[in-house]
Amino acid sequence: MKDDEEVNKSDLLGILLESNSKEIIKEHGMSNREIVEECNTFYLAGQETTADLMVWTVVMLSRYPEWQTRAREEVFQVFGNRKPDSDGLNRLKTVTIILNEVLRLYPPVLFFNRRVQKDIKMQNLSLPAGVKVTLPILLIHKDRELWGDDATEFKPERFSEGIAKATKGRLSYFPFGWGPRICIGQNFSLMEAKIFLTLLLQRFTFELSPAYAHAPVIFLTLKPMHGAQIITINCSFKCVQAFGISTFIPSGASKYK
Ligand code: HEM
């Protein structure tokens, strides 16, 4: 970016360039390459993950129509046919516990790594400096010792009294990471997912198409390998149409099936 160049401050790139140009004056700025890397991080960290959350939620609500009905009842109770607003979104309790449970069973980010800075001892474990530690989010989210015998089942009600109660105060649920590097987009993505679900539930009932094959796969994040084919029934016109909600279909197949 040149000194006299105007930036569009209404998007992320513009804000980043504007803020960076002030830092450059103080000699702490980022290079163009670093700016591009920041944008890539936001795209991957922010877009793919939230899209995965939405897809798995639609799959789960199709598989468990009783939860779809409960979520729709709540949405109509809070918003009727109105557009969602932030006050109402904060009152969506059933939708929130559904999203929590989807993030437990289908966390878009499956693990994250840390490098040990200095020798430490944790109970009977000695970790020397330099060792890389992997925190397997999915394995911990499905651990029977931590979650009970129904650990692998879809039961949003386990979150009905909040995350601390569901985890019994243990660090067994961290779809957004933990500690100083916890996801900065956590609230934003949950808000996005709630808006999406509200608009979807207000307009459609949906079920899994016979074409759907359940095959979670890791492709950077956790996705349905063959996409998610969903049959939607328009709530107002009662007509049936089919469309695929998918974020990843391998082998270059059509995005919408
Ligand atoms: C369901 C949605 C999301 C999930 C599951 C998720 C998950 C995560 C996880 C597990 C981490 C920690 C990685 C680590 O510690 O190594 C992380 C970090 C991060 N996330 Fe998200 N994320 C989501 C949405 C978003 C959104 C919407 C944005 C941006 C708008 C975002 C931006 C970031 C950034 C910039 C970091 C790095 C933070 C740092 O290192 O200080 N994420 N995310």
Task: Quote the ligand 1 centre to 205 CA distance (angstroms).
Answer: 31
pLDDT value at residue 29: 84
Q: Locate tokens 């009600």: which residue?
A: 157
Task: Quote the ligand 1 centre to 244 CA distance (angstroms).
Answer: 26
- CB-defined site of ligand 1, < 6 Å: 41-42, 45-46, 49-50, 53, 108-109, 112, 175-177, 181, 183-185, 188-189
Q: Give the separation between CA 170 and CA 74, rounded to whole angstroms.
A: 30
Binding-site residue positions: 183
Binding-site residue positions for heme: 183
Q: Say if CB 29 and CB 20 are below 8 A apart.
A: yes
Alpha helix segments (H runs only) across the chain: 12-25, 32-42, 49-63, 65-79, 86-89, 93-105, 137-141, 144-147, 163-166, 186-203
Q: What is the mean pLDDT of residues 147-174?
A: 96
Task: Quote the ligand 1 centre to 176 CA distance (angstroms).
Answer: 6
* Residue 117 pLDDT > 50: yes
Which of the listed residues 48, 106, 134, 183 should we mutate to test ligand 1's pocket, taking the one with most ligand atoms within 8 A of CB?
A: 183
Q: Say if CB 248 and CB 227 are below 8 A apart.
A: yes
Q: What percentage of the chain reaches a pLDDT higher than 90?
A: 68
Q: Say if CB 79 and CB 202 are below 8 A apart.
A: yes
Class level of CATH domain 12-201: mainly alpha
- Point out the ligand 1 atom lying closest to the alpha carbon of residue 112: 16
Query: Binning pLDDT at 50, 70 and 90, where does residue 255 land?
Result: very low
* Residue 162 pLDDT > 80: yes
- Point out the ligand 1 atom lying closest to the alpha carbon of residue 182: 12
Which tokens belong to 182?
A: 């916890």
Task: Quote the ligand 1 centre to 184 CA distance (angstroms).
Answer: 6
Q: Give the separation between CA 56 and CA 21, rounded to whole angstroms.
A: 40
Which of the listed residues 49, 138, 191, 220 should we mutate to test ligand 1's pocket, taking the one with most ligand atoms within 8 A of CB?
A: 49
Task: Quote the ligand 1 centre to 49 CA distance (angstroms).
Answer: 8
Q: Give the separation between CA 190 and CA 174, rounded to whole angstroms.
A: 14
Domain boundary assignment for the chain: 12-201
Task: Quote the ligand 1 centre to 182 CA distance (angstroms).
Answer: 7
Instruction: Count CB neighbours of 100 within 10 A.
Output: 19
pTM of the model: 0.87
Instruction: Count CB neighbours of 14 within 10 A.
Output: 13
Q: Which residue has the higher pLDDT, 247 or 7?
A: 7
